[in-house]
């Protein structure tokens, strides 16, 4: 029995010695975690900065070209359009649409203003064939804008307008 007691008494002394050997001599574990976290943050910030510079490099090449002589976009207001929509149930449905056409020069804007009756005449048949279901959702608005731009290009026999901006779209 005495031998067992001696072994049991030796065991705690061995554990105490190994615990003392395992204590860090310099930097504590918390300090190491802080240093690693700061290094990771620095790497992430550097990557974000590099990505922003990369994405900005594409747009910065366009800015001097605009400042060097290219004119700002010119907007041509189209009078409000009110048309009947085709309803499947025979009820009266209306669409009120207010547009602006975008062009890149005042010369083209003046051409659009002179031929605006032809542009409006091109819009009417298309708009009168629309159904209320055709105008549901954001994809429908995109298709409407594309179709209107196509009709402007046909009416003006060229690419005078760059874009169609929908200012107001009301269904009743």
Using the 3D structure, point to which of 32, 65, 98 is the last residue of a domain: 65
Q: Which residues contact 144 (CB under 8 A, 6 or more apart)?
A: 135, 166, 169
Closest to 148 in 3D by CA, of 99, 108, 86, 112: 99
pTM given for the model: 0.55
CB atoms closer than 10 angstroms to residue 119: 23
- Residue 83 and residue 167 share a domain: yes
- Residue 50 and residue 23 share a domain: yes
Give the count of domains, the chain. 2
- pLDDT more than 90, % of the chain: 10
- Residue 149 and residue 109 share a domain: yes
- Residue 39 and residue 16 share a domain: yes
- Residue 33 and residue 103 share a domain: no
- Residue 150 and residue 133 share a domain: yes
Convert the pLDDT of each residue in 107-158 to its tens digit.
888 988 998 999 899 888 888 888 888 888 888 888 999 999 888 888 887 7
- Residue 100 and residue 57 share a domain: no
- Residue 59 and residue 133 share a domain: no
- Residue 161 and residue 98 share a domain: yes
Kind and range of the H or E element at 100?
strand 93-103
| Residue numbers of the domain that contains 163 | 74-171
């Amino acid at each position: 029995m005495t031998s067992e007691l001696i072994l049991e008494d030796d065991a705690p002394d061995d554990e105490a010695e190994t615990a003392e050997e395992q204590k860090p001599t310099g930097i504590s574990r918390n300090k190491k975690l802080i240093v690693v976290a700061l290094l990771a943050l620095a790497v992430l910030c550097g990557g974000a900065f590099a990505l922003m510079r990369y994405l900005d490099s594409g747009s910065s090449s366009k800015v001097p070209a605009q400042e060097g002589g290219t004119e700002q976009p010119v907007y041509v207001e189209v009078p409000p359009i009110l048309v009947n929509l085709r309803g499947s149930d025979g009820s009266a449905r209306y669409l009120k649409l207010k547009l602006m056409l975008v062009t890149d020069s005042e010369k083209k804007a003046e051409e659009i203003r002179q031929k605006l009756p032809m542009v409006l005449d091109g819009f009417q048949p298309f708009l009168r064939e629309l159904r209320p279901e055709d105008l549901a959702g954001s994809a429908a608005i995109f298709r409407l804008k594309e179709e209107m731009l196509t009709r402007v290009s046909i009416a003006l026999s060229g690419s005078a307008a760059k874009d169609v901006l929908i200012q107001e779209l009301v269904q009743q």
